[in-house]
Structure 1
Amino acid sequence: MDSLRIEPFFHAGTGTWTYVVHRDGDAVVIDPVLDYDPKSGRIGTDSVRAVQDYLAANDLKVQRILETHAHADHLTSAQVLRAATGAPVGIGHGIRGVQAHFAGVFGMEPDDPALRDAFDATFDDGDTIEAGVLRFTVMATPGHTPDSLSYAIEGNVFIGDTLFAPDVGAARCDFPGGDADTLFDSIQRFYAMPDDTILWLCHDYPPATREPRSSMTVGESKASNLMLRGDTTRAAFRERRRARDAQLPAPVLLYPSLQVNIRGGHLPPAQPNGLRYLSTPLQGDIPAALG
């Protein structure tokens, strides 16, 4: 049997990492990205095409497409890959709560088939995911979002947004269902692993002094993560996280992303004029004269 191979793909526009994990011709794609320009509304597939080119060049069969959570900062290209490969799309079982919350935000019925049937599989903590010769162990790692999962395989863990590179920190916890104490507990599961365990990041937002990095070890994060080191107390993390979250703006692609991602990557249906629309719910005190 060949050794496990992991190929990262970086989407600079959103700072997102996509991974192809493969061995002996079987592959899994984790967190694929759909290009979207919010200024023009233009959808593109250059990013996912790079993934597809790699799959073809290495004669790989995609067995599964895995999402670490319903992302709020980029649109998923899971359905593009599913249509091309036939591979099922999976996510954490907590997606049902995320869908229920945002169904109201976007004027959808909670039992809308577009939500109910959005994913081919949902996973719980401790599940084993079989993908040809690949075997992943599912770790529920909520705190950033309630549906957040990590996928572990042979000393590698694909951790979604739980942690970032040591000089960037950890995930925000101010989204619906997010909680700093819960995220602290999730991160402790990583910190209990051997120091040489490789944590594969979903995002990197590097300073100008370095290139984007896709991974770090448990030992590195425990030693120097600016938000949560191995010796950081729960109370200290809670206060750091809350202070930081109070300063963060909403992600630029929050509403476009979630409208697509809670549907498993499907776009909203076309309107009678043949066009599809991504809507933005208006906030604040809206003058009656505007109604």
Structure 2
Amino acid sequence: MVRHKYVFVYSCLLIPLLFFLGIRIAPILYSFNISLREWDMLSEEKPFIGLQNFVQLFHDEIFLIALRNTVKYVVIGVPVQLLAGLAIALLLQRVNRFKGLFRTLYFIPYVTSVVAVSWVFRWTLLKNGIVNAWLIKLGLEPQLFLGSPSQGIYVVIAVMIWQSVGFQMLIFLTGLETIPKSYEEAAAIDGANSWQRLWHITLPLLNPVIVFSVVIASISFLQSFTQILNMTGGGPLNSTISMVLYIYNLAFKHFKMGEAAAATIILFVIILSLSLIQMKVLNRRVDYE
């Protein structure tokens, strides 16, 4: 009876594992093979060319721009999104009335269609859109926003932060609610002010949540695609193009599957390395007992 029970349990675990291996691991391994070949969809022969696709990428100016933009998405987007989510969570923790309503209002953008949100912002930020109309009424100069090579990327980052800050808020709220109130009460009795309690008690005990949020947010910004595609298409002058959008264009517009696979491998290595570094550097054990 016990043996049949274990057979059933391991069988149930094996099915999703096989699905994961077939859907996730196998395509990743296959992409390594493609990245080492001259893989043109219009040609029957796929000769092995070694690392030539990788060399070609680093001689492509657009790839270097996409790599630089992706770094900018992460460096700006992740800290601002986490700080905003933490600040909102700390404020909501102190709200007694309509707590559920406020949480819902902040979380709604996260569950709203990314495409719909992107197009709404694209329309409102047009040269003759609502935002510029307000600026003119206030006596200010209209702005190009998404049409400006210097402004476009920051507008896209702001939209991405706005849409995902509700998710970070919810994660931080969950972490804050697991912290025993007795720690802060004891610190308050000892004379610690609000800032000292936040810095020396709340944030250290939130460390596992912060590590999770940093890793998830970093991966999200490294994989930036939908907002960019729908708001700017990577323009103007490739000023907002990301690595994923570059890979998409290379594969499905220029049909250069070998180079696209090589760019995918580079992005995979960046995501994996950054995630491991973040978990190693940020992860700290805190125990006040």
Structure-2-length-normalised TM-score:
0.23
Say which one has the larger Rg.
2
Structure with the largest fraction of helix: 2
- Structure with greater strand percent: 1
TM-score normalized with structure 1 length: 0.23
